[in-house]
Structure 1
C-alpha cells in the first residue's frame, strides 16, 4: 500500500464530508484528532486547501477549533477522531475552551463550569475534598478523553491539563454506559502537536499562592511522524481559612506517532499529587463568621491524593469508509483524608459547639478500554454511518471510613485538642465492578437536511463486595439496555433544530435496582455566517425512576424500596460569540422546575411535591472580554446569578439569591510576554451556600497575578 502521508488533504475532507452526525451517537470514542489536521485549521482554509465540514452539510466556514485562540467551539470532540459540528448535534452541549479557561483563570472544575447554563456549582464551597456540581438538578458523570473516570471521580481535576471541557446535558447511557442522569462532563487532554510551541508562567496571589507551569512540545524526527508534549504545574498555597494548605503537583507527558494520515497512535502518562486541607470544619448557625476562622483540628485536617494514569489512543482509517478505533486507560489512585467538623444546632445555648472526627483511606484501580468500528457510505441522496463497538471496564477499590466524637470547641475562644486517641471504623469494604458492553448506532441523513439517529446499548454489570466489619461477601449481576433516538432538521446552513429521546442507567450498587432516567428534549441552534458565534436554546423534561427511598412498613420498621421518582423540566439558553476582533461574549440562562414525585425521608415523612436540593429555579451568567484596538491590553468582566435553593430534602432551609462578579486584566508589556490579573468574587460577597451540621460559605475574593511567556 502506498504511503498515504503523501495523499492530498482533499481526500481526507471528502471522507469527512460523508460522515453523518456522529456525536450523540458515538460512545465517547476519545481518539485524538490528527496533529496535522489540527494545524490545518489554524490558518485560512482557502490557503490550506481544506475545509472543516459539517457532518452532512459542506460548510466552508466551519474551521477546526483552535482552543487556545477562541472561546467559541463549533465542534464537539467526544465523538472521536472526526470532530462533529455542534450545529448538527441533537443535544444541549457546551464547550469551555482553553482560551476561556485562561481568561477566567479557572483552577478547579467548579470554576470552569461556573458560566455554563444548567450547571450549579460550589454548594459546599469550604468543603474542598471534591468538585461539587450538578447538571439539571441531578448528579453528573465525568469522563477524561471519552473514558469514564468511574471510581477516579473524587479527584479534583487539573484544568491546566486540558485543551477544553465539554458538557453534555441530560441522560445518555446509550452513549456512555452507566451514568447519572444529569449529564456528562468530558475533559479533553492536551495532546502532542506537529509543531514547535511552548508556554511558561509564574503566578502569585491571595492566600500566599505561589505557582509555576510549563507546556512545551515539538516534533522528534525529520519526517515529522513523531511528536511529544510535556505539561506540568506546581502550586504552593493556603486556603482562605487558617491552618490550611492547597498544594498541587502535576506532570503529563504525551507521545504521538503518525506514520501516515490514516494512522495515529498516542500515549499519555500523567501523575497528579494533591496535599491539601479538606475542610474548615464549617461555621456555626448563630451569625455570619469571618471566612478565615477555623473550627477543625490543625493536626488532623489533611487530604492527600496521588493518581497515576496511562492512556493509549489508536485510530486507523482504511480509506474505504471503514475506520477502526481503540482506546485503553489504566489508573491508580490513593485518597486519604481526615478532618473535624462542627455539629451545631439551632437550639444551642452558649458558645460551645459539638464536633466530630471523620476520615477515609481508600485505594482504587481501574482498567477501561474499547474497540469501535465505524462504516460510512453514501447511497444517492442518503448518507449512512453505522457504528458498532465493545467496551470493557474493571474497577476495584478498598476503603475504610472512621468516626469518633471530638471534644467540643468554644467558638469565641477556640482551643484545639489535637488528633483523636482512637477512631472507630464504621465502614471497611472491598469492591469490584466489571462491565461488558455492546453498542450499535445507525445514522441516516436525507437530502442534506434531515438526520435520523438511533442507538442501542447493552451493559452487563458484575458487582462484588466484601464487608470486613460484617464479615460478609455479596454480589449482584445486572443486564441493562438503553436506547435513544433523535431527529435533526437543518432549516438553513446556519440554523438547525432537533427533537430527541434518551435514556440513562445510573451506576448500580449491590442489592439495589439501578436508577433509570429518561429525557425528552427539543432544541434549536444558530451559527450565523460572517461571525464566529453559536447560539442555542433547549427545553427538556427529565425524569429519574427507581430512586431508593425509606418506606415505613405496617409493622413500623423502615425498609429501602425503589419507588422514588424525581422530575425536572427546564429551559436553557446559551450564547458564545466573538462579536468583533476585540470583543467576545459568553452568556447563559437556565430555568429549572424540579419536583419529587414520590419519596420519603428516613423517618417515613413524605417529601412528595418538594423541590430538589441545590436546584435553583433561575441561574444566569455573562462573561465579556474586550481588547483595546491596536493595544496589547485587555479587560474582562463577568457576573454570575444564582437563585435561591433548598439545602435539604425536607425543604426546611433555603439559600439567598445572589450575584457574584469576576474581573480580569491583561497587558502584553513585552513581545510574547504577558501580565494578567484575575479577581474572583470581586466585591467579596459572602453568603451561605450549603448547610447541614454547620453552614458553608461561598468562596471569598481571590486575586492572582501571573506572568506568562509563549514561544
Structure 2
C-alpha cells in the first residue's frame, strides 16, 4: 500500500477530462467529412493496425465487411532503410510530419547508424547526436542540450525524471529499440514536467509480418564479449498474431582497475489483430546490469595543500568490492483502433520497476571538507550500503486525425496521461555509533586494503511519491498550401510528497515528513509556424513555455521554487532527394528562473545545497545534416553553440561544453567492392573548467575524438565488422561540476559477426 494515501494513480483531473472530452468531441465530429484513407497515429512506426487492415482486405480478419482503412502513413521505422535519417516522425507533436514540417530542432538516430557505428547503449547513441553534450559522473551519465538536461520518453510516453533509483542511462541497452528521437529545446507539449534541454524518445522494435531474425557475436579489448539474437514474425498462418523477441548479453573488464561488468536484456512483444481496425499489443522488458569495482563519486584533483594529485587513467577511486547492480522490469499493454474517418485512438498502460543494489567504498573528493594528506597519501573513504527501489506506473490515451475547416484539411491531436513514481532509497552502515555516514581513513593508492564490512545497521530510509497528471491538445492548421500553423497547450498538475526515517543520533527511526511540492493546472502553451519556400526549403519559428518542478534544496533544506521560462526558436530546414537527405539551421533564445546552482555548501542532512538562479539566458545556434549525400554515402553531422549564462553574464555551467561538432558517416563502395562499407565518426568539444574551493580551477582543453569502422559482407546474409573508437588514444576527462572528474575511455576495439535469416 502506498505510504501516501491521499495520492491515487488514476485520479481524475477535472480540467484534463473537460479539455480532452470537449476537444475530442469537436475533432471527431469535424473529422467525418475528411474520410482520410492514410494517416498515422504518431510517429508512424510499424503501425500495428496497418496489419489488421491488410488482414481485412484478404478476408482473414473479423469485421472484414467494413471498408479497409490503411493507417501506415509515411513509415518512420528505421530498420531496413539503410538510412541515417527518417522521412517522417511524430517527435514532439504526435503528428506524422517530415523533419522539414516540424517547427523544432530534432535528430533521429536510426537502426542503420546504431548497427554500423556500434552504438550499444544510450550513452553511445547520444555521443553521436548533434547538439548533445555527454558528461559522465561515476556510473551515471548526464545528457544535456543547450546547457540543460533532457527528459526521457519510451514510445512517445513521458516518464518521470530518471534519478539514482531508475536505470542509469549509461546502462540502457539499444538492442530492443528501432530508433532514438531527440528534440532539442523544451518539449512542453508532450512532456509538460520536462527539462528545458529537450527530450529523448526511445522507440521500441515492433513485430514483423514476415519471419526474420539475426544473431550477432562480438569480442573487444579488455576481454569484452557480446551475443545478441533478434527474431520476429507471424505466429499464425493468417498473420493476425505477430511476435518479436530480442535477447542480449555482454560482459568483460574495463580500462579501470578492478572494474568489470555484465549486462543482459530480454525483450518480447506480441501483437494481435482484434478485427480489421483494432490491434492489441503486450510486451515486457527485463534488463540486468552488474558492475563489480563500480565507481561512485569522482577522482579528487588536488591534495589538501593544493598540489595536483596525479593518477593514471586506469585508477579506481573505489574499493574492489564496490558494486552497482541494477534490475529493470517493464510491462506494457496498448490498444490501438483506427476509425473509417481517418482518426485513430491509442491507449497504453505500463509499469516499470527498478531495483538497485550498491555497496561502495569511495575516496571522497570534496574540498576542503575531505583533504588528502600529500605526505602520506591518506584520504577519507566513505563506506555504505545504498539499496534503492522505484516503481513508475503510467497511463497514456490520445487520439489523432484529420478534420475539415474552411475547405482545407487540418490535423489534430488530443490526449491525457498520468504518471506516478514511488521510490525508496536506503543507507545502511557497519557502524552503530549514532552517525549516519561511515567515513574512515584510507590510502589513495591502497583502497584494496579496506575490507568489505557488514552493513547491518540501518541509518536512513527516504521515501517519495511523485504524480503528474496532464491533458494536452494541439492542431496543425494548413492556412495555405505553403503556410502551416501548429498551436497547442498542455495543462499539468504535479505533486511530490516525501518522508524519511533516520537512525542517526537520537532520531531512532522517527518519521519526518518533507515539504510537499504541489502545482495545479499549470498551462504550457506551444506555437509554431512553418512556411514552405520552394518545396525543398522551409522557414519556421516556434515558441514554448517551460515548467519544471525542482527537487533540489537550499542550505535550510527547503525545496527551490519550480523552474519557469520560455524558449524562442527560428530556423530554416531543407528536404532533398525526395526526403533522403535533411538539413537544418536554427537560432534560439531561452530564458529561465529558479535554475538550481550548487552553492558549495551542505544541507542539514549533509547533501549538497543549491540556490535558485534567476534571470538565466541561453542563446545559440545549430547546424545539422542527416541522410544520403550521394549514392551509398550516409552522413549525420552537426555543429552546436549555446552558452547558458547567469543574470550577471557569467557562465552557468562552465564544466559543460558550449561548442560541439559531431559527425558519423559510412560509405558503401561501388562496383566490385560493393561488399565493403567504410566510415567512422568524429566528435569535438571546446575547453571546459570547474572551480575547486580554494584551489586552482580544473580545466580540460578542447579535444577531438575519432572513430573508424569497416564492414564486409561475406554473403548476402553474413557480415563481419571492425570498429575502433578514440583511434588516437586521446586522454581527456569529464568533470562533475562540483568536486572531481572521471577519465574518458581510451582507444577501444570491437570485432563482430552478424547473420540474418
Question: Which category of TM-score, normalised to the shorter sequence, fits these structures?
Answer: 0.7 to 0.9
Native 8 Å contact 2:49 2:71 kept in 1: no
1:249 Cα offset (Å): 1.1
Report the equivalent of 1:239: 254
User: Matches of 2:716 and 2:291 in 1, distance apart?
Assistant: 37
Contact 2:46 / 2:77 at 8 angstroms: preserved in 1?
no
Q: Matched residues in 2 for 1:268 and 1:259: separation? A: 17
Q: CA deviation at 1:541?
A: 0.5
Structure 2 unaligned blocks of 5 or more: 1-31, 55-68, 302-307, 429-436, 503-509, 552-557, 601-607
Aligned-pair CA distance for 1:161: 1.2
- Asked if 1:635 corresponds to 2:678, the answer is yes
Q: 2:420 aligns with which of 394, 398, 412?
A: 394
**How many angstroms apart in 1 are the aligned matches of 2:221 and 2:453?**
32
- Is contact 1:624-1:637 (8 Å) kept? yes
Deviation, structure 1 residue 449: 1.4
User: C-alpha displacement at 1:381, in angstroms?
Assistant: 4.5
Q: Distance in 2 between matches of 1:660 and 1:15?
A: 49
Deviation at 1:290, TM superposition (A): 2.8
SS at match of 2:295: coil
1:15 equivalent to 2:36? Answer yes
When structure 1 is superposed on structure 2, of 441-450 and 204-213 the one drifting more is: 441-450
Cα deviation, 1:9-35, whole Å, max 9, x if unaligned, reads xx9x9726678xx97xxxxx9986237
In structure 2, do the counterparts of structure 1 residues 227 and 534 end up closer, same or farther at CA, with 3 Å as the change threshold?
A: same
Q: Using structure 1 for the length normalisation, give the TM-score.
A: 0.85
**2: CA distance between counterparts of 1:530 and 1:564?**
46
Report deviation, 1:352: 0.7
Deviations along 1:5-59, whole A, 9 cap, x unmatched? xxxxxx9x9726678xx97xxxxx998623757999xxxxxxxx99987xxxxxx
Q: Which residue of 2 aligns with 1:609?
A: 650
Task: Tell me if 1:342 matches 2:357.
Answer: no
**Conservation of the 8 A alpha-carbon contact between 1:207 and 1:238:** yes
Matched, 1:132 2:146: no
Name which of 311, 330, 334 aligns with 1:289: 311
In the superposition, the TM-score normalised over structure 2's length comes to: 0.80
- The reply on whether 1:88 has 2:88 as its aligned counterpart is no
Aligned residues: 658
Q: How far has the Cα of 1:439 moved from its partner?
A: 1.5
1:163–1:188 contact (8 Å) kept in structure 2: yes
> Any idea what SS the aligned residue of 2:449 has?
coil
CA distance in 2, matches of 1:261, 1:67: 25
Contact (CA 8 Å) 1:498, 1:524: kept in 2 or not?
yes
Alpha-carbon deviation of 1:198?
0.3
Counterpart check, 1:568 vs 2:618: yes
Structure 1: how far apart are the matches of 2:687 and 2:51?
46
Matches of 2:670 and 2:159 in 1, distance apart?
A: 43
Match of 2:440 in 1: 406
Aligned match for 2:217, one of 176, 198, 202: 202
Q: How is 1:83-122 mapped onto 2 (pairs within 5 angstroms)? A: 83-122=96-135
Indicate the residue corresponding to 1:454 in structure 2: 487
Q: Which residue of 2 aligns with 1:352?
A: 377
Which of 465, 469, 485 is 1:432 aligned to?
465
Contact residue 391 and residue 422 of structure 2 kept, 8 A: yes
1:653 corresponding residue in structure 2: 698
Deviating more after overlay: 689-698 vs 584-593 = 689-698
1:706 deviates by: 0.8
Structure 2 CA distance for partners of 1:303 and 1:393, relative to 1, 3 Å: same
Q: Does 1:279 align with 2:295?
A: yes
Contact 1:404 1:423 in 2 (8 A): no
* Counterpart in the other structure of 2:78: 66
Q: How much does 1:506 deviate?
A: 1.4
- Structure-2 separation of matches of 1:294 and 1:649: 21
Residue 57 of structure 2 corresponds to which residue in structure 1? none
Corresponding position of 1:269: 284
CA distance in 2 between counterparts of 1:243 and 1:415 reads 10
172-181 or 199-208, which deviates more: 172-181
* Contact persistence 1:340–1:406 (CA under 8 A): no
Aligned to 2:334: 313
Q: Is the 8 A contact 2:49 2:337 kept in 1?
A: no
Residues 595 and 610 in structure 1, CA contact (< 8 A), matched pair in contact too:
yes
Indicate how the Cα distance of structure 1 residues 512 and 79 shifts in structure 2: closer, same or farther if over 3 A, else same: closer
Q: What's the RMSD between the two structures over aligned residues? A: 3.2
Equivalent residue, structure 2, for 1:304 = 325
Match of 2:713 among 668, 671, 675: 668
Question: Residues of 2 paired with 1:309 and 1:364: CA distance?
Answer: 12
* Residue in structure 2 matching 1:490, options 517, 527, 532: 532
Structure 1 partner of 2:663 = 622
Which residue matches 1:366? 392
Contact 2:50 2:72 in 1 (8 A): no
CA shift for structure 1 position 282: 4.6
Note if contact 2:363-2:444 (Cα within 8 Å) is conserved in structure 1: no
For residue 122 of structure 1, give the secondary structure of its aligned residue in structure 2: strand
Q: Give me the whole-angstrom Cα distance separating, in 2, the residues matched to 1:91 and 1:63.
A: 20
Q: Does structure 2 retain, via aligned residues, the 8 Å contact 1:30–1:327? A: no
Residues 503 and 564 of structure 1: is their aligned pair in 2 closer, same or farther, counting only changes over 3 Å?
same
Q: Classify the secondary structure of the residue corresponding to 1:626.
A: strand
Give the drift of 1:183: 0.7
Query: Does the Cα contact within 8 Å between 1:596 and 1:609 map onto a contact in 2?
Result: yes
Q: CA offsets per residue over residues 500-542 of structure 1, 9 Å max, x none?
A: 1012211444854221231000011101135721111111011
Distance in 2 between residues matched to 1:517 and 1:106, nearest whole Å:
34
Match of 1:503 among 522, 539, 545: 545
Task: Quote the offset at 1:409 in angstroms.
Answer: 1.1
Per mean C-alpha deviation after superposition, the further-off stretch among 464-473 and 307-316 is 464-473
Whether contact under 8 Å (2:549, 2:562) holds in the other structure is: yes
Q: Where in structure 2 are the equivalents of 1:3-82 lying within 5 Å? A: 15=36, 33-34=47-48, 36=50, 64-68=76-80, 69-78=82-91
Is 1:588–2:628 an aligned residue pair? no
Partners of 2:44 and 2:327 in 1: CA distance: 24
Structure 2 residue matching 1:419: 3-state secondary structure:
coil
Structure 1: segments with no counterpart, 5+ residues = 1-10, 24-28, 41-48, 54-61, 553-557, 599-607
| Counterpart position of 1:604 | none
Give the CA deviation at 1:560.
7.1
Please tell me whether the aligned partners of residues 248 and 273 of structure 1 are also in contact (alpha carbons under 8 angstroms).
Answer: yes
- Deviation, 1:369, is 0.8
Q: Which residue pairs with 2:64 in the alignment?
A: none
Bigger drift between 92-101 and 266-275 goes to 266-275
Task: Specify the alignment match of 2:197 in structure 1.
Answer: 182
SS of the counterpart of 1:110?
A: helix
2: distance between equivalents of 1:448 and 1:649? 57
| Native 8 Å contact 2:50 2:70 kept in 1 | no
Distance change (3 Å), C-alpha of 1:328 and 1:224: same
